[in-house]
Amino acid sequence: DIQMTQSPSSLSASVGDRVTFTCRASQSIDNYLNWYQQKPGKAPKLLIYAASTLLSGVPSRFSGSGSGTDFTLTITNLQPEDFATYHCQQSYIIPQTFGQGTKLEIK
């Protein structure tokens, strides 16, 4: 199985900041990488697929990049509603494994 490792596991930031999360795959997955946002007590929501394609309706302050084994999710000008947990997932091969998540907290 492909292992997905996210770093950091948690991050504190302030409204207006720029933050970057990392997701690393244990083998190359081309750009078969999705990002999800999850708020407490809620199901996750898709933000980005194919590493860098924003789902319609997702604010442009979110962006994704990467290919192969290393991927990043960047949020610029953090808004209060962005404080949540972010999960990456590879869709390259079954099982479509997730990372352990990065929790973004308010500083």
Partner 1 sequence: EVQLVESGGGLVQPGGSLRLSCAASGFTFSSYWMIWVRQAPGKGLEWVANIKQDGSAQYYVDSVKRRFTISRDNAKNSLFLQMNSLRDEDTAIYYCVRWAYSSGRYYVDYWGQGTLVTVSS
Minimal distance, residue 53 CB to partner 1, in Å: 7
> Quick one: 82 or 86, whose CB is closer to partner 1?
86
Q: Considering only CA atoms, which of 19, 17, 6, 20 is closest in space to residue 90?
A: 6
- Per the CB < 8 A criterion, the answer to whether 84 and 104 are in contact is yes
Both structure tokens of 37: 């946002």
Total chain residues near partner 1 (CB under 8 A): 24
SS3 89: strand
Among 37, 82, 99, 104, binds partner 1 (CB under 8 A): 99
Both structure tokens of 94: 């079954």
Stretch touching partner 1 by CB under 8 A, among 17-25, 27-35, 60-68, 76-84: 27-35
Among 49, 62, 66, 78, binds partner 1 (CB under 8 A): 49
DSSP, res 98: B
- Residue 97 is a binding residue for partner 1 (CB under 8 A): yes
